[in-house]
Structure 1
Amino acid sequence: MPPVGVFVSRVCLNDCEIRGQFYPKGANVTVLPYTVHRNEENWHRASEFIPERFLDWNDKGSLKWIPFGVGPRFCVGMRFAEMEFKTTIAKLVDKFEMDMTGEPDIVPDCNGVIMRPKDPVRVNLRKRV
């Protein structure tokens, strides 16, 4: 799930056509990272959470994974966000054994900016000894 729902938006400076779709000059074009990340042409089993797919991923720059945008206007908080989530995961794994109760049906929700699961995701934590 990308952290932000809509942020890659541009205005066409000239008439153009991309993959048979015409965009007139002045048109607002928005890319939704959520749909890019769920595209079966980009990912095998795109709707499944498979973090191992990034272990040997050699397609970096392909625009298949754009949670922080791309190019000169990408999210300025990207490095901080990555450091924050990696530190959080490392601390959790270090201090707790974790498992999920059942298979959650994660439905995305967007409050206008931030993407998050609509319903709580329940995780059982057992303190490591």
Structure 2
Amino acid sequence: MMETLERIKKQLSDNPILLYMKGSPKLPSCGFSSQASQVLMQCGERFAYVDILQNPDIRAELPKFANWPTFPQLWIEGELVGGCDILIEMFQQGELQTLISEAAARHPVETENNDPAE
């Protein structure tokens, strides 16, 4: 368990814009993950993701660490932003785009569109 928490903390510190989701942005495995990744892609910045279906240890531990029971989960600069409903609401109000673009500007090269769990 401790090893899993360390992996989560490293993923969060290494990836300023990180989506924990079911599947991948190109092949999401649930509707909520699909909506969340679509909204993120519309923001126009690169983001990293972790497929929790491929990482059952993270799937089990992250909800306790985050104090957030469901997936997907968007983290920006180590802070939990929220799940699908929150992301969509923020996007519709223009808040998510600002948050994402500001984080991307602070981390110009570090954000990769890949799976940091590998």
- Superposition TM-score tier, normalisation by shorter sequence: 0.3 to 0.5
TM-score, normalised by the number of residues in structure 2: 0.33
Normalising by the residue count of structure 1, what TM-score does the alignment of the two structures yield? Answer: 0.31
Larger radius of gyration: 1
